[in-house]
Amino acid sequence: MVLEVRIRAVASDHPVRRAPSEFDEWGEISPEAKAMEILRWLIEAQISGAWLEVGNLSAHPVWYGPTESSKAMNIGIGILEEFRGQGIGGIAQRLLAEELHRNGYVRVEASTDITNFAEQRALHKAGFICEGTLRKAQGRADGLHDLQVWSHIS
Ligand SMILES: CC(C)(COP(=O)(O)OP(=O)(O)OC[C@H]1O[C@@H](n2cnc3c(N)ncnc32)[C@H](O)[C@@H]1OP(=O)(O)O)[C@@H](O)C(=O)NCCC(=O)NCCS
């Protein structure tokens, strides 16, 4: 039984356990994207009295103008397969949005495939609002996909 969930910032090159999914089959990764500044957190849950790594979160900056107040953070999440469907994803994304708000970011956003209903549900439970569809925004191994964009505002 899951008792508690916490997130812990780690270095961007910290080894994380992979959480494979059909929405994570990229094909060739762009060198420019590899060079992008990405912040990372481990998600840990207290299960039967022990803290276990159950997934990870990331965040990268998105600029909507040349001013500090135009800088949003776009977050991503992966929960290890054996820990999905227990409410951890919703709690973890809420915790990260709150941490980023404390660090001064008003806009925290998440973009997810229009068919990723589990993530849409988790974002809703985390207090994010769906703002609309980004057409043909994400190229994966099998081609271009439409994304939904969600935001959590402080
Ligand atoms: C998406 C993900 C982060 C959600 O985390 P989670 O801990 O499994 O999610 P939660 O348990 O908080 O909630 C999942 C919700 O989605 C629902 N759900 C799960 N699979 C679903 C599906 N195929 N269709 C519709 N709803 C679904 C669950 O019923 C639950 O809703 P409920 O609480 O109303 O019952 C996790 O499943 C995951 O890591 N998936 C693979 C990676 C991924 O897709 N990352 C996001 C990329 S943008």
Helix (H) or strand (E) holding 90: helix 88-102
Distances (CA, A) of 55 to 18, 83, 116: 8, 8, 17
Map out the domains of the chain as residue ranges.
2-153
Ligand 1 centroid–CA 143 distance in Å is 23
Q: Report residue 31's pLDDT band, with 50, 70 and 90 as the boundaries.
A: very high
Tell me the C-alpha distance between 22 and 45, whole Å: 24
pLDDT value for 113: 98
Pocket lining: 137 vs ligand 1, CB cutoff 6 Å = no
Asked if the 2-153 domain carries CATH number 3.40.50.2300, the reply is: no
pLDDT digits (tens, 9 = 90+) for 65-111: 999 999 999 999 999 999 999 999 999 999 999 999 999 999 999 99
